[in-house]
């Protein structure tokens, strides 16, 4: 066995192996921060990719990871044609893993601290005009259970700014039509109370009276879920996206994602003079900086109005 083979064999048995430390980190992430399954899957995929790449170069343990190796990895990802946003996400996952390893005395220092990642040009979110959003909410027909359900869904997505996963996760006890509020469980299982619009209350009332009982009779085993699919089970985000795309195609308009309705909710509130902190609370953002992007959207909209209407613009 030559020296390089000895190094690989030694590293593969090390207590700081990339695979073992990644697994421990992901377990801690799930237990301590209660992150979503989607986030865990993304972390797992990104860390496994780095571990496989490092292993091919003879580095199996975190103690063998240094700034030079990380820069080589970023260069490797760039050569493969990954988008800057994807590379930034992978670097963020590595930085989190290495930071956790330092805190838990697996390695003495985090070699990813200060590691440069591709700078991202954060695009402004797509926003519908108020009339477009209202028209979209009125597209589902009200003469069948699915149409009634979809109208209530869209009214909540736009009228309360919910994420698609949040609206699908609602239970019967989360909505109160008498106070026009909905209790939402967001990221990190943080709960918030959000007002409902009058159209949302009306659409929900119709759905609860007629459509939901019809769907529930199909026996999907989800009696606590607010929104049900055709089998009577809890409605999933994929079905919501498909329904929205189908509605837009029927109108001959480009498809929009459910998140566009959330963006529109926030932007229209700010256009109407809402306080930024209030919008942050309703959206469930942990940082005000995340909400501030909508102020830029509103500024852009004001600029458009100005240029279209002022005689000296």
| Residue 90: partners with Cβ closer than 8 Å, 6 or more residues away | 46, 49, 50, 77, 82
Could you give phi then psi for residue 234, rounded to 5 degrees?
A: -60, 135
Q: Within a 13 Å sphere around the CA of 191, how many CA atoms are in the beta-carbon half?
A: 8
Q: Give all strands (DSSP E) within the chain, no chain letters.
A: 175-176, 181-185, 191-195
Residue 259 among the catalytic residues: yes
Candidates 30, 44, 183, 259; catalytic one: 259
Whole-angstrom CA distances from 211 to 127, 131, 181, 254, 282 are 30, 26, 21, 28, 28
Instruction: Give the span between the Cα atoms of 196 and 158, in whole angstroms.
Output: 10
Closest by Cα among 92, 97, 86 to 23? 97
| Residue 34: partners with Cβ closer than 8 Å, 6 or more residues away | 188, 189
Residue 263 among the catalytic residues: no
Candidates 7, 72, 248, 285; catalytic one: 285
Candidates 89, 212, 234, 262; catalytic one: 262
Candidates 44, 187, 192, 248; catalytic one: 187
Candidates 163, 212, 234, 268; catalytic one: 163
Instruction: Give the span between the Cα atoms of 211 and 216, in whole angstroms.
Output: 9
Residue 33 among the catalytic residues: no
Residue 187 among the catalytic residues: yes
Q: Are strands 191-195 and 181-185 parallel, antiparallel or unpaired?
A: antiparallel
**Would you name the residues annotated as active-site residues?**
163, 187, 259, 262, 285, 294
């Amino acid at each position: 066995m030559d020296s390089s083979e000895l190094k690989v064999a030694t590293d593969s048995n090390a207590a700081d192996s990339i695979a073992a430390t990644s697994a421990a980190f992901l377990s801690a992430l799930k237990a301590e921060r209660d992150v979503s399954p989607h986030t865990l899957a993304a972390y797992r995929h990104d860390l496994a990719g780095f571990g496989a790449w490092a292993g091919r170069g003879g580095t199996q343990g975190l103690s063998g990871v240094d700034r030079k190796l990380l820069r080589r990895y970023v260069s490797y990802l760039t050569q493969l044609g990954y988008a800057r946003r994807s590379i930034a996400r992978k670097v963020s996952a590595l930085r989190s893993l290495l930071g956790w390893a330092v805190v838990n005395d697996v390695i003495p220092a985090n070699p990813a601290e200060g590691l440069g990642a591709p700078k991202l040009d954060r695009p402004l979110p797509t926003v519908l005009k108020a009339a477009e959003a209202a028209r979209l909410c009125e597209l589902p027909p009200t003469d069948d259970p699915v149409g009634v359900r979809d109208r209530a869904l869209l009214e909540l997505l736009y009228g309360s700014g919910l994420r698609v996963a949040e609206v699908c996760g609602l239970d019967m006890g989360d909505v109160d039509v008498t106070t026009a509020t909905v209790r939402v469980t967001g990221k990190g299982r943080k709960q918030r109370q959000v007002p409902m619009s009058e159209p949302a209350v009306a659409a929900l009332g119709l759905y609860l009276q007629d459509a939901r009982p019809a769907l529930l009779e199909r026996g999907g085993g989800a009696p606590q879920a607010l929104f049900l699919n055709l089998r009577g089970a809890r409605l999933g985000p994929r079905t919501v996206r498909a329904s929205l795309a189908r509605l837009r195609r029927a109108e001959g308009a480009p498809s929009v994602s459910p998140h566009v309705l959330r963006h529109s909710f926030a932007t229209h509130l700010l256009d109407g003079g809402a306080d930024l902190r209030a919008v942050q609370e309703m959206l469930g953002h942990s940082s005000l900086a995340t909400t501030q992007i909508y102020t830029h959207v509103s500024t852009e909209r004001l600029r458009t109005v100005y240029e279209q209407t002022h005689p000296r613009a």
